[in-house]
Structure 1
């Protein structure tokens, strides 16, 4: 990226009601958070899509959704449960198609336990990759045809490379990488992982999405920018070397902090 990037945000439609003018004025990237739960995906979600279209009339920024993740592992070894995860991914893609969204955030399968045990069992690393392929392969063609990119977000990932290698294994433009700054900072502070900017550097141009949240390195805080201890200058310096134009999505627990966080990063000369 050669100029200051434009910040976007993640929010449900109820918050978009109050933040829509800010999103549309800057034509900012948006990630909708209404399509995560089984109750929504198994029900009639078209009224939510219609509401989103109305609220986003005139919006030309990039649109995505956070995909389903509660209780779902992309590397589930039980074939019946794995089929359910595949179904949830397919439901998420259907929502993307109806919205015109071009990105869906999904969660990495890698845990801290895995990090310490993947080399403790023969072929364990490949087994994880094979299980994720068994889950996602049935939906990859649909994602490609619908121009939707699935971005793998780090959760407990201590190794910045494993998730990237997994994304590469699909050899598809529909699978790329996401970074959550708070998750990476937790892994750095609590499990000995590298700092957040290293995750950006290791992902390189596979990185097409980032959740921006501040944290203390102990828990998944989703604080306003400036409240925690993430080194934002280092993070944005690493982002500035990329050509992939990742969506920079403020993902805060308290949505009233979205605009102040954007203003803080702007005042630091890091984004707008």
Structure 2
């Protein structure tokens, strides 16, 4: 039996119907992406949840969702905005409870601008953490109660350690770290951040989720694996040192290329 990691994917329910046999063949991990918008979360998402349960009957991989993120930050200074964001996070976790998902992806609050300004104003680092705690405190308790983990994904992050410290500040097993390889490659190529494998090494066993996408270091491409310039051998060498068994999730724009992306990794002897 191969000891190579089994890679899963991110997709919507429509795409799950296309790739269901591929997913079930090796009981791959799945991240559903139908529950990110206000329109869905304020609407009749229960019907989507029922469809998910039906399609995933017999699925043995780990299940997660991409949580809501459009139009907000976890670190808003405005208490009214924080209340809306807190409600969105609750809605996302309600979905997790309904479909049996044990992980929800949330976006890092750290931007390119903040990297250059966190030490410009006294106490700014602490204020960002405080605002995120005010936003997420109820969601973290809810995640603990339902056995789910909120994973904080790098977006514009240049300092890979700040997001890890933020996750650690909750002192909860319900908050961990996610890495998006394409976001890291963008930050490396365009804003002077470290290379992708450094993000993995910095996170260590706090890492519980990885979005695998290829990019060129200029934009958030979400290309199929092998189409960009990410040095995948270094990334998987860093992952091999971990014992946290993070979910390895292909997240690309052209979902028809999901199997080909995993085949590319297999051809390099990196994953299956």
Residue 60 (structure 2) aligns with: 60
**Residue in structure 2 matched with residue 263 of structure 1 by the alignment:** 263
Is the partner of 2:93 in helix, strand or coil?
Answer: helix
Equivalent position of 1:196 in the other structure? 196
Quick one: distance in 2 between partners of 1:72 and 1:13?
A: 25
Following TM superposition, by how much is the alpha carbon of 1:13 offset from its aligned partner in structure 2, in angstroms?
0.4
Superposed, 1:1-272 pairs within 5 Å as 3-272=3-272
Partner of 1:209: helix, strand, or coil? strand
Alignment partners' CA distance in 1, 2:241 and 2:218: 28
SS of equivalent residue, structure 2 residue 262: helix
Post-superposition CA distance 1:37-58 (Å, at most 9, x none)? 0000001111111111111111
CA distance in 2, matches of 1:22, 1:56: 13
Deviation of 1:112 (Å): 0.4
Cα RMSD, aligned residues only: 0.8
Q: Secondary structure at the match of 1:105?
A: strand
Deviation at 1:141, TM superposition (A): 1.3
How far apart are residue 124 of structure 1 and its match?
0.4
Flag as ranges the 4+ runs of structure 1 deviating above 6 A.
Answer: none
- For 2:227 and 2:141, locate their aligned partners in 1 and report how far apart those are by CA, in whole Å: 42
Q: Structure 1 CA distance, aligned partners of 2:184 and 2:217?
A: 8
Offset at residue 147 of structure 1 (A): 0.5
Q: Secondary structure at the match of 2:140?
A: helix
Unmatched tracts of structure 2, length 5 or more:
none
CA–CA distance in structure 2, aligned partners of residues 141 and 57 of structure 1: 28
User: Following the alignment from structure 2 to structure 1, what is the Cα–Cα distance between the partners of residues 75 and 94?
Assistant: 22
The TM-score normalised by the length of structure 1 is: 0.99
Inter-partner Cα distance in structure 1 for 2:79 and 2:47: 33
Normalization by structure 2: what TM-score?
0.99
Work out the CA distance in 1 between the residues paired with 2:217 and 2:83.
35
* SS class of match (1:218): coil
- Output one character per residue of 1:54-111: Cα deviation in whole Å (capped at 9) or x when no partner: 1111101000000000011100000000100000000000000000000000000000
Using the alignment, how far apart are the partners of 1:72 and 1:93 within structure 2?
17
How far residue 3 of structure 1 moved from its aligned partner, in angstroms, is 2.8
- Number of residues of Structure 1 aligned to a counterpart in Structure 2: 271
SS in 2 for 1:198: helix
